[in-house]
Structure 1
Amino acid sequence: MGDGPRLPGVETDDDEERIVCHVDADCFYAACERLREPELRGEPVVVGMGYEPGETIGAVATASYEAREFGVESAQAISTALERLPRRAAIEPDAEDHDPDLTREETGYYRPVDMDYYESIAAEVQDILHDCADVVREVSIDEAYLDVTERTAWEVADGFARHVKDRIRREVGVVVSVGVAPTMSAAKIASDFDKPDGLTVVEPGDLRAFLAPLEVDLLHGVGPVTARELRDMGLETAGDVAAADPDPLVDRFGERGRVLYDRARGEDDRRVEPKGDPKSFSRESAFAEPVSEPGPKYDLIETLAAAVADRARREGALYRTIGVKAVTPPYDVNTRERSLPGPVDEPDLVDRIARDLFAEFEDEPVRKLGVRVANLEFTGSDQASLDGWDGAAADGIDERDGDDPVETDLDGSVTDDEPGTDGGSVTDDEPGTDGGSVTDDGSGGDDSDGATGSDRSPDLPAGQTSLTDFS
């Protein structure tokens, strides 16, 4: 049993029904672009590659719901997308692809994929999830499973899930859909059930009735090819699959046929389990409005450094890299980091190096700050104080300048042929759902990777709106 906060009187044991949330960001890449350019809100937005005049090869990574109304879909050839929804620039007289017959309402905005930026936003969402659940399994850059059995109860699961949604919307600025169910596969289906901005709760006693009328396409792991084969067998709905003889399914699909049969019946004994140690610990906080004075920023650096060093100590982790993050208006993410000669557990060193790295931004307006320790080593042995290393670290050994480095893990989910679901596709979302790439800090891989734990935040300096991890 975890030690995170839970409702009074809520008790759990290994045999009870789990409470699983699946959190899925809606059109995530497009949502990130709207954070950077608020004027894109409400407009058709397509994120992809190959849309510049003269380019002939490219694909759509994601399309906003407004763009989908024109027939633009993820994984679609960019040439097809441009035919259905020309670029907004095409209505400008001096544009290379100018078309005098187009109107504003017939065009949309196209933006290139910017994974570094999307990963920085995803990290903020993931950190809220880790704060809300004891066990989190990141599936991709924009979706994760949470086991919240010890944080809530079925009677109030709707309110708990709404709290998660509201925190992400308020603190990060993106919209997510949440499904709550007793199994991972049903939670995934539930999160897709009412997109965008959806919230669907399926209690244990309602699971079979919820699944039964769904088209077979909606079963988790069923893509167009499998759906056609199931229909060839006379199975149109999940209820049909649940009532079928499982043997022909196994004959047709192998062991996967048994999985389809079980999931159609609401049976899925997989647990939400993160895998592997986290790659970094980090904390980040946003000011209510951009701050230019150095004092409040250095006060926040001190708070963040203490928080991240404390978490590393509690987790038994040593670190070789210390970094800072400064987000300047409108949403420019700047990171700096410095590597040490060896692994340490030195809170004062984290604070000192974080201050040094941040110095170049002390006079700039800053809307958000973060402190990070990375290149972690988990050990039970005592680490001696490394006073002799302080000078070497302060001299900037292996100092890096640029975007926050991110290690990615492609997930190994066994799904059908759906672009962008749990299989590590290059797209952000397949038509009707969202999926995509993976990010770091212990995240990645479908049903495999994720950093554990949640933190109690230290008191915030005046004017702070949130305190979350960043990776």
Structure 2
Amino acid sequence: MDCFYASCERLREPALHGEPVVVGMGYEGGDSHGAVATASYEAREHGIESAQAISQALDRLPRAAETDTEPAGHYRPVDLDFYEEVASDVKEILQECADVVREVSIDEAYLDVTERTSWAVVGDGQAGSERTIAEGYARHVKQRISREVGVPASVGVAPNMATAKVASDFDKPDGLTVVRPDDVTEFLAPLPVAAIHGVGPVTERELADMGIETAGDLAAADPAALVDRFGERGRDLYDRARGDDDREVTPTGRPKSLSRESAFTEATEDTEAKRERVSALAADVAARARSRDAMYQTVGIKVVTPPFEVNTRASSLSGPVDDPDLVESIALDLLGEFDDDPVRKLGVRVSKLSFGAQDQARLDGFEGEPTAEGKPATDGESDADQGDDWASTADIARTAVDDDARLTDWVGNDGGDLAVDEGDDDGHDSDDNHDPEGQSSLGAFD
């Protein structure tokens, strides 16, 4: 889905079509606290980005409600319940259009339509008139979403998941890109290496140090050198650049944790800015948990300090709760340890999830002292087959991470995907490391 939160706001307020729209997290109408969750393409033209502080966004694009000058933006607070309603309408269509659907976030999904369409070509033989049946089917899905729900979607069609993901980002917004089996290598080769599923800004820079700037360069690289530099992840990137991906589309199971990250444009020591960001992330994570009827027993934070060192802290409760204010309070308390440190990225996570109606724990204290455990940046919204949350050791573990995410989830290796964004657009429940749409997800990210 394209700029999903902004698209939903336009669905509710048709007058916003064509206008700069900024959807923020953790702030209300006249306030200037919080972070940008997503910005419409019109707003992005003025330098508004996902995870940007609302105060910075307001400097670049004043509120239309408070100024008569141009340009001006229309700011709206996140309305998760409404977005979930719209998303459910989209998902109903996807379930009707595919035999297998893998939802990776509120606004992104993989569909296996192998049994419903084909790569056969139809047309009258004239130049430009031929297309695959698969393209026609994808257009049908797009048109149903547009007609029945009223929000735009971009679709990528390819013979495997990794290439379909790249294709879905190729022609935004409202795009449709089809990559036939024989065209995968030719399609991928000229693209910047950042387009490959799993490559974020830091990985992009490290690859550039190796002389690798395009997907074609990556496909032609020595896989042994990539493994030496990135571990097994290097082999995955190499395969994806070559269009090799044998994963099957599988339905998503229940997560073991829910989390959200946000990176600063530059490392900051501003205590208030750090607290505002954590408050916004805590509100989003708690809202996601409530939308999934989930309670949580552990609340944690992630703090990335220069150059790329990960610090995590977590506190466990005596039992599962659903309490957004408590999530914020604990997260801010844990953040206090880093008041004097420069910070590149922050994150909030709830874990030890339980689903369905049940009694909440008494809020009369925690189980022991806050604990910490370093996790790779690829750790995110964990499926049932993922490891437990961070709270396992009492020592700080510092690990070099790939700072790929903007406002994202710490997504687990769902189905083998590299993960950190995507989410797409609004921050997604995406298996990807990099969110080209720049939106903070409510599902799983960058």
Provide TM-score, normalisation by structure 2.
0.58
**Cα shift at 1:146:** 0.2
The SS at the match of 2:47 is coil
| C-alpha spacing 1:435/1:61, structure 2 compared with 1 (3 Å) | closer
| Structure ID, larger Rg | 1
- Identify the match of residue 195 of structure 2 among 193, 218, 229: 218
Render the CA deviation track for 1:115-174: whole Å, top value 9, x for unaligned: 111011001001100000000000100000000000001131111000000000000000
1:145 equivalenced with 2:143 (yes/no): no
Correspondence list, 1:169-208, <5 A: 169-208=146-185
1:410 equivalenced with 2:381 (yes/no): yes
Match of 2:398 in 1: none
Query: Counterparts of 1:125 and 1:167 in 2: how far apart (Å)?
Result: 9
Correspondence list, 1:221-236, <5 A: 221-236=198-213
Render the CA deviation track for 1:388-441: whole Å, top value 9, x for unaligned: xxxxxxxxxxxxxxxxxxxxx935699862234864669714773266534xxx
Do the aligned residues in 1 keep the contact of 2:38 with 2:439 (CA within 8 Å)? no
Match of 2:46 in 1: 70
Do the aligned residues in 1 keep the contact of 2:110 with 2:161 (CA within 8 Å)? yes
Do the aligned residues in 2 keep the contact of 1:179 with 1:189 (CA within 8 Å)? yes
Query: Counterparts of 2:249 and 2:216 in 1: how far apart (Å)?
Result: 25
- Identify the match of residue 249 of structure 1 among 206, 221, 226: 226
RMSD (Å), alpha carbons: 2.9
Match of 2:437 in 1: 433
**Cα shift at 1:209:** 0.5
Match of 1:161 in 2: 138
Match of 1:58 in 2: 34
Correspondence list, 1:37-48, <5 A: 37-48=13-24
Which AA in structure 2 matches 1:428?
D
The SS at the match of 2:18 is coil
**Cα shift at 1:89:** 1.2
Do the aligned residues in 2 keep the contact of 1:86 with 1:107 (CA within 8 Å)? yes
Provide TM-score, normalisation by structure 1.
0.55
Which AA in structure 1 matches 2:211?
G
| C-alpha spacing 1:211/1:436, structure 2 compared with 1 (3 Å) | same
Correspondence list, 1:11-30, <5 A: 25-30=1-6
| C-alpha spacing 1:275/1:186, structure 2 compared with 1 (3 Å) | same
Identity %: 67
- Identify the match of residue 110 of structure 1 among 47, 64, 75: 75
Query: Counterparts of 1:216 and 1:145 in 2: how far apart (Å)?
Result: 22
| Unaligned ranges ≥5, structure 1 | 1-24, 92-101, 278-374, 377-408, 439-443, 447-471
Do the aligned residues in 2 keep the contact of 1:143 with 1:435 (CA within 8 Å)? no
Which AA in structure 1 matches 2:155?
V
| Unaligned ranges ≥5, structure 2 | 121-132, 255-354, 357-379, 387-400, 410-418, 428-433
Do the aligned residues in 1 keep the contact of 2:29 with 2:77 (CA within 8 Å)? no
- Identify the match of residue 88 of structure 1 among 64, 74, 82: 64
Which AA in structure 2 matches 1:140?
S
The SS at the match of 1:106 is coil
| C-alpha spacing 1:208/1:264, structure 2 compared with 1 (3 Å) | same
Query: Counterparts of 2:439 and 2:382 in 1: how far apart (Å)?
Result: 11
**Cα shift at 1:51:** 5.7
Query: Counterparts of 1:169 and 1:53 in 2: how far apart (Å)?
Result: 29
Query: Counterparts of 2:405 and 2:196 in 1: how far apart (Å)?
Result: 12
Query: Counterparts of 2:154 and 2:223 in 1: how far apart (Å)?
Result: 32
